[in-house]
Amino acid sequence: LQQRRGLRLSAPAAIQVTVRDALNQALDEELERDERVFLLGEEVAQYDGAYKISRGLWKKYGDKRVIDTPISEMGFTGIAVGAAMVWLRPVCEFMTFNFSMQAIDQVINSAAKTCYMSAGSIPVPIVFRGPNGASAGVAAQHSQCFAAWYGHCPGLKVVSPWSSEDAKGLLKASIRDDNPVVVLESELLYGVPFEMSEQAQSKEFVIPIGKAKIEKQGTHVTLVAHSRPVGHCLEAAAVLSKEGVECEVINLRTIRPMDIETVEASVAKTNHLVTVEGGWPQFGVGAEICARIMEGPAFNYLDAPAVRVTGADVPMPYAKILEDNSIPQVKDIVFAVKKTLNI
């Protein structure tokens, strides 16, 4: 009716989409786009996935494209890596990345190293994905962050999404990549809705692997995080803004290859750096960022030592009050910013 009256119609507005639905969209679109793509893992088919990420995909694509596996990470990961070596594009789901330790030989020795060891003649286009880092009330054996572990290994690409756009764009880019890619999701973000732009709703929307995003511009201090702590940084930035401190918040998005150039440019502007992560402090992602800044041109712009905010250096406790004190909170980020700014 509006068109008949000659009125100008506005572009479709952004919509709210949960991270779970964004991942489901990405899988659906890539299964439809390329018949070589298939999903396998524990309960991904008839049960629709332990976290309902693969909801509806088995009914739509059938047993050959969405495959339930036995409880044997080493076994089904090996099958997936072998399939990738003959140019299929498997998406291998771990019910939690803690269970990927059962298959780390396949991930590192088989997937990550084969392209190099074959002088480039055997690419391994495979995606390893699933929830990573702390959940809630599941204690030490289900709450570990593997960003530093897998980011350490040449031959792998490692991404760590925060928002729904991150989740969709990075997963689609990972499936299309000819290298092994580890996609570290957050279980605590699956049900969280984020605004998804019109562009991100397109079936061809991808986010380039290896490019960080500035979520908030600022002038006083640079906050760098990935996955769920990005949200904590934005909350801390809102608190600090009321006190006259403007934080620049960088969503790292990719752990390997790391977009250190974006961090360097921000540090050159703010002269201060705080890194935030849910993983352990020793040899972590924050330690790598600090080392890169120390070794590069941005070091000359620092007015104070870089500060890391990390998980506690202990296995995750089960008790909630201890769990809360083992994971970086907004107050910890605020304290770190005030420390580095000496206020």
pLDDT in tens, 210-237: 999 999 999 999 999 999 999 999 999 9
Residue 119 lies in a domain: yes
Q: Are residues 220 and 325 in the same domain?
A: yes
Count structural domains, the chain: 2
Q: Are residues 162 and 237 in the same domain?
A: no
Residue 122, SS3 per DSSP: coil
CATH number at residue 283: 3.40.50.920
From CA 23, how far away is CA 130, in angstroms rounded?
10
Across the range 104-122, mean pLDDT stands at: 97
Q: What is the pLDDT of residue 10?
A: 52
Q: Is 64 exposed, middle or buried (0-12, 13-18, 19+ CB in 10 A)?
A: exposed
> Which of these three, 170, 201, 232, is where a domain ends?
201
Q: Which residues are catalytic?
A: 73, 142
Q: Residue 37 pLDDT more than 60?
A: yes
Q: Are residues 179 and 269 in the same domain?
A: no
> Which of these three, 201, 234, 252, is where a domain ends?
201
Strand partners, 193: 18
Residue 152 lies in a domain: yes
Q: Are residues 150 and 26 in the same domain?
A: yes
Q: Are residues 181 and 121 in the same domain?
A: yes
Q: Residue 4 pLDDT more than 50?
A: no
Q: Are residues 99 and 247 in the same domain?
A: no
Q: Are residues 226 and 190 in the same domain?
A: no
Query: Could you tell me the residue range of the domain that residue 236 belongs to?
Result: 213-341
Q: Are residues 28 and 123 in the same domain?
A: yes
Q: Looking at per-residue confidence, does 11 or 340 come out higher?
A: 340
Q: What is the pLDDT of residue 11?
A: 53
Q: Is 46 exposed, middle or buried (0-12, 13-18, 19+ CB in 10 A)?
A: exposed
Q: Are residues 53 and 192 in the same domain?
A: yes
The structure tokens listed for 6 are: 């000659």
* Amino acid occupying residue 135: S
Residue 184 lies in a domain: yes
- Per-residue pLDDT tens over the stretch 283-326: 999 999 999 999 999 999 999 999 999 999 999 999 999 999 99
E strands, 132-253, where?
A: 157-159, 181-185, 193-196, 213-216, 221-225, 247-251
Across the range 261-275, mean pLDDT stands at: 98
Residue 128 lies in a domain: yes
Residue 246 lies in a domain: yes
Residue % of the chain over a pLDDT of 90: 94
Across the range 53-66, mean pLDDT stands at: 97
Q: Are residues 231 and 177 in the same domain?
A: no
Residue 4 lies in a domain: no
Across the range 6-17, mean pLDDT stands at: 67
Q: Are residues 167 and 280 in the same domain?
A: no
Across all residues in the chain, what is the average pLDDT? 95
Q: Residue 8 pLDDT more than 70?
A: no
CATH number at residue 174: 3.40.50.970
**Using 50, 70 and 90 to split pLDDT, how confident is the model at 12?**
low
Half-sphere exposure for 311 (CA within 13 Å, toward CB): 29
Cβ contact 342:304 at 8 Å: yes
Question: What's this model's pTM, rounded to 2 decimal places?
Answer: 0.94
Q: Are residues 248 and 134 in the same domain?
A: no
> Which of these three, 160, 181, 201, is where a domain ends?
201
The structure tokens listed for 124 are: 């391994």
Strand partners, 223: 249, 274
Q: What is the pLDDT of residue 13?
A: 79
* Amino acid occupying residue 271: N
Residue 168 lies in a domain: yes
Residue 10 lies in a domain: no
- The secondary structure of residue 108, as a DSSP letter, is I
Residue 258, SS3 per DSSP: coil
